[in-house]
Amino acid sequence: MKWCDCQTYIEITPPEHFNFHECLLFLNRSDQEIVHVIHEEGVYKLLKINDSIILCRIVYNDQVLAVHFPIEVPSTEEKREVVRFICEWFDLDRNVELFYQAAEQDQLLSRLTLTYRGLRMIGIPDLFEALTWAIIGQQINLTFAYKLKRRFIEKYGEYMTFKGKTFWLFPQPEKIAILTVKELRALQFSTRKAEYVIGVARLIRDGYVTKDDLQGKDYDTIKQELVAIRGIGNWTADYVLMKCFRRANALPIADVGLHNALKIQLGLDKKPSIKEIEVIATNWEGWQAYATFYLWRSLYDEPV
């Protein structure tokens, strides 16, 4: 990814087919979200790189992403890590032209890719955050999931204030690993979810599960190792493969949002069955994650 160190800020040149406005719309889908803040046509993101906490403000001007540092300008090495994170977060190293070419063969996708052209699959680069968020979202509605997530972050996350606004980091696994189930139950976590989140935190803290180790493995191996973790089922594993490992062929086929979007977009009387989705998805081969993500995006155009 081409980028320029402009001393007090960074400029990243995004690839073709990049729509920052569409990405912001997706990031802004819940007013309970606090791991990033949308403000004045930009997004603020707090990052922890080694022991440094860095506040970034990302805006899009003159065909470049400008990354400003409102509090303190990081070192050159830290800037490289900021660029790496942003490229992964916005999936900037993906040639989505190939997705658009494939989508032309599918009536549903061709319509969605025309409407949301330039939308990138927004990821969750941190493995603990991705796993925890997926566990929180199991079998509850999205509104309550965001409330649980916010309570979790405000209780156990680090933060920084700037001009009267508070910016949060997702909690570190080391902090969550020493909690009791009772402490998470006080936030309205179910007993099972509390056990799962603490268990995942301990595995990551102790080095039994690492993103670097899993990253180089094939899809099926990663999924097999993820579902071996207590509390991680097929949907959670597929979601993490999609959002953290950025596997374009990940398909969280049991996802309720996917089912609702297909029902709306295809004008069905009821949500499609898993077998029906398998048939529908035959045209998505290699791009199932992007197809799912664009279908999720379509939900935010529908009246609540």
- Please identify every residue annotated as catalytic: 255
In sequence order, which residues have a C-beta less than 8 Å from that of residue 237 and are 6 or more positions away?
A: 222, 223, 226, 227
How far is residue 181's CA from residue 191's CA, in Å, rounded to a whole number? 7
In sequence order, which residues have a C-beta less than 8 Å from that of residue 110 and are 6 or more positions away?
A: 103, 104
Structure tokens given for 75: 């070192």
Q: What residues does 12 pair with on adjacent strands?
A: 3, 65
Using CA atoms, how far residue 47 sits from 51, 53, 95, 108, 226, in Å, is 10, 6, 26, 37, 25
Closest to 263 measured CA to CA, from 252, 255, 271: 271
Closest to 238 measured CA to CA, from 119, 125, 224, 230: 224
* Structural Rg of the chain based on CA atoms: 19
125-137 burial by CB neighbour count: b if 16+ within 10 A, else e? bbbbbbbbbbbbb
Coil/strand/helix, residue 131: helix
- Please report, as a single letter, which amino acid is at residue 217: K
Q: What residues does 37 pair with on adjacent strands?
A: 44
CB-CB contact of 80 with 1 (8 Å):
no
- Please report, as a single letter, which amino acid is at residue 41: E
Q: Are strands 42-49 and 52-61 parallel, antiparallel or unpaired?
A: antiparallel
